[in-house]
Amino acid sequence: MLAMKILQHDKVLFVGDSITDCMRRRPVGTGGGLGLGYVAMFHAWVKLKRPDLALDVINMGVSGNTIRLMADRWQTDVLSFQPDVLFILIGVNDVWIRYGCEGDLASTSLAEEYLKLYDQLLCRTVPAVRQICLMTPYIIPNQTNAAMYQELLPYMQGVKTLGQQFHLPVIDLQNVMEKLLSDGIEPELISLDGVHPNILGRMAITEAVLRETELIGR
């Protein structure tokens, strides 16, 4: 398992879709404008428990993002900030929009193109950012989204493969969510629509990020 290390005064940037965005401030989510999701919860934990780190946390998630839309803004939304640490969570909209979720159908990518674009972004970014962590897309499986779940599987596996290729840590959020289900937690307490996390789901993602950065024990 590849270890991450958060250093004092690090600039930590999160990028992705609505799971990351979660009503952040525009144009840049910082300080009190980090939104209501796991990014804000991560920032709050660090402020409370590790104020000595004095991290600069930035949320550049954009609701509706697909890999293609995110790539189009990569220079502006990511590289221009020169982050020390970067977390990436993208992919569910590339599948979900094809199953009726509101969004730009033309911006979606099948798994092969998704992984090609993701690979290109990492080739540009790995030399410029000290630490990068990938997070798999996920879905809370139920009787109504079985087909979407199956279609999302190669996206999840592809992110893990990219992590191996680039020697980057990967947080398997599908495993995180399925662990909650196996513990007997009702799906609607995790997410009402199977994708956007409720407070419990956000807490689970936050905990996974804290564990990956070794801010709390694994």
Selecting among 84, 107, 119, 196, the annotated active-site residue is: 196
* Helix (H) or strand (E) run with residue 85 in it: strand 85-89
Selecting among 17, 18, 172, 191, the annotated active-site residue is: 18
Q: Using CA atoms, how far apart are residues 166 and 151, in angstroms rounded to an integer?
A: 24
Residue 177, C-beta contacts closer than 8 angstroms, at least 6 positions apart? 138, 139, 140, 190, 191, 201, 204
Q: In the structure encoding, which two tokens stand for residue 41, read together?
A: 């919860």
Helix (H, G, I), strand (E, B) or coil at 89: strand
Q: Is 167 a catalytic residue?
A: no
Selecting among 72, 80, 104, 193, the annotated active-site residue is: 193
Assess contact for 170 and 215: CB atoms under 8 A: no
Q: Is 193 a catalytic residue?
A: yes
Q: Supply the residues annotated as catalytic.
A: 18, 193, 196
